[in-house]
Amino acid sequence: MTATIDIQNNIALITMDDGKANAINFDMLAALNEAVDKAEADAKAIVLAGRENRFSGGFDLNAFASLGPEGVYKLLDAGAEFLLRLYGGPLPVVAACTGHAIAMGTFILHACDTRIGAAGEFKLGANETITGMNLPIFAIELAKARLNPVHYTRAMVQAFIYDPKGAVEAGYLDMLTDADKVVDTATGIAGQLSQLPGSAYAYNKRAMRKETLAAIKASIGKHHG
């Protein structure tokens, strides 16, 4: 299992759960895209959640090791396409960050409209510099759009890993709640957002994010870093 969807009261709860770190690979992205397709057809808002104690540990490093350079670029581009769907899509998207979020896990948070995090001993951050990786364009652009500018260097260049309280200050999350209330809190907020006129929400979301969306789209299919 990688991702499931449950629609109740016009809210689509999409849950990532691979039984491990919710690594982002082609299988996970296919399941997520299929779920978003269904949500856009049958719901008015999305809640994107992880498994207990884990939102996502980022891209699947085992896949990176086996794909070869061209395969890695294809996976990065597929990830970028998914982020574009969330960040520029028509529906309100609320993240239920159920625990740790590392690297691509934090970029998914950036692509969601509102981010609810679990209080606790969790780690959130972009660790690319630590692992010797170059940041892809989508990570840089989303960080510029969502992070507190005071934290740009610390978060992205120096790869600082935050606790949930620090993640709110940095801009990875918008608010915290108890771990067992994250999904319910996110669902409540999604319910409120679903009451807004959908056409206006979709237009204003795309209009406000036009430059970021364009920069990410232009990077797809090109070599990263």
Mean pLDDT of 78-91: 98
Instruction: Answer yes or no: are the C-beta atoms of 64 and 36 closer than 8 Å.
Output: no
At residue 127, the pLDDT reads 97
Does the pLDDT at position 182 exceed 70?
A: yes
Asked if the structure places residue 184 within a domain, the reply is: yes
Convert the pLDDT of each residue in 100-128 to its tens digit.
999 999 999 999 999 999 999 999 999 99
Asked if the structure places residue 95 within a domain, the reply is: yes
pTM equals 0.97
At residue 223, the pLDDT reads 65
Amino acid at 43: A
For 5, 20, 49, 166, the CA distances from 1, given in Å and listed in that order, are: 12, 11, 14, 32
Considering the chain, what percentage of its residues have pLDDT values greater than 70? 98
Instruction: Answer yes or no: are the C-beta atoms of 14 and 36 closer than 8 Å.
Output: yes
| 65: confidence class by pLDDT, cuts 50, 70, 90 | confident
The H-or-E segment that residue 124 falls in is: strand 124-125
At residue 29, the pLDDT reads 97
Structural tokens at position 5: 């969807």
Does the pLDDT at position 13 exceed 80?
A: yes
Neighbours of 74 (CB within 10 A): 14
| 130: confidence class by pLDDT, cuts 50, 70, 90 | very high
Asked if the structure places residue 110 within a domain, the reply is: yes
Find the CATH number of the domain harbouring 141: 3.90.226.10
Higher-confidence position of 104 and 66? 104
Does the pLDDT at position 97 exceed 80?
A: yes
Mean pLDDT of 67-82: 92
At residue 68, the pLDDT reads 85
Q: What mean pLDDT, rounded, does the chain reach?
A: 96
Torsions phi, psi of 19, nearest 5? 80, -5
Asked if the structure places residue 185 within a domain, the reply is: yes
- Cα separation, 121 vs 200, in Å, equals 38
Q: What is the span of the domain harbouring residue 23? A: 3-219
Considering the chain, what percentage of its residues have pLDDT values greater than 90? 92
- Cα separation, 123 vs 166, in Å, equals 10
Higher-confidence position of 64 and 191? 191
Convert the pLDDT of each residue in 190-211 to its tens digit.
999 999 999 999 999 999 999 9
User: In the chain, how many domains are there?
Assistant: 1
Instruction: Answer yes or no: are the C-beta atoms of 81 and 140 closer than 8 Å.
Output: no
Instruction: Answer yes or no: are the C-beta atoms of 124 and 164 closer than 8 Å.
Output: yes
Asked if the structure places residue 111 within a domain, the reply is: yes
| 96: confidence class by pLDDT, cuts 50, 70, 90 | very high
Asked if the structure places residue 224 within a domain, the reply is: no
Considering only CA atoms, give the Rg of the chain.
Answer: 16
| 64: confidence class by pLDDT, cuts 50, 70, 90 | confident
The percent of the chain in helix, strand and coil, each rounded to the nearest 5, is: 50, 20, 30
- Cα separation, 80 vs 82, in Å, equals 5
